[in-house]
Amino acid sequence: MRHITQNGLDLIKRFEGFSRTVYFCPAGYPTIGYGHVVKPYENFSAGIDEAQAEELLRQDAVIAERAVLRLINVPLTDGQFDALVSFTYNLGGGALQRSTLRRKINREEHADVPEQFMRWVWAGGRKLKGLIRRREAETEIYAL
């Protein structure tokens, strides 16, 4: 199976940020580490360190990688794959599945991708500067 590169992992880490304790993300989900959504059966009351957060990130990235591999049926460069895994890590496979972004990529309409990324900058009913910066960064590495 194909995996995200270190460049892609670094992108996710940069935008998710590290938290050793549980917090609620802008969409309202309990989150820890580098954007790991806490499952009902998980207990992080003692917090986590960066090594544990990196392991959770890698486990969660596999879910995003599988979604990208399942939903995108054209060849992708490492940069394109990394950008799509970051996008899917952030928004979930369902968002990629129902997106015009996916349809444009599968039709190899790569020139339309930047505009499609920028449609996904909302959370909790608000346009977020952090999501705008993330989509811009994903657009940049998509072009590599």
Residues labelled catalytic? 16, 25
User: How many C-beta neighbours within 10 Å does residue 47 have?
Assistant: 13
Instruction: Yes or no: say if 40 and 64 are a contact pair by the CB < 8 Å rule.
Output: no
Length of the chain equals 144
Measure the N-to-C terminal CA separation of the chain; round to a whole number of Å.
21
Closest among 102, 83, 85, 116 to 1, alpha carbons compared? 85
Query: Do residues 23 and 32 lie in contact, with contact meaning Cβ atoms separated by under 8 Å?
Result: yes
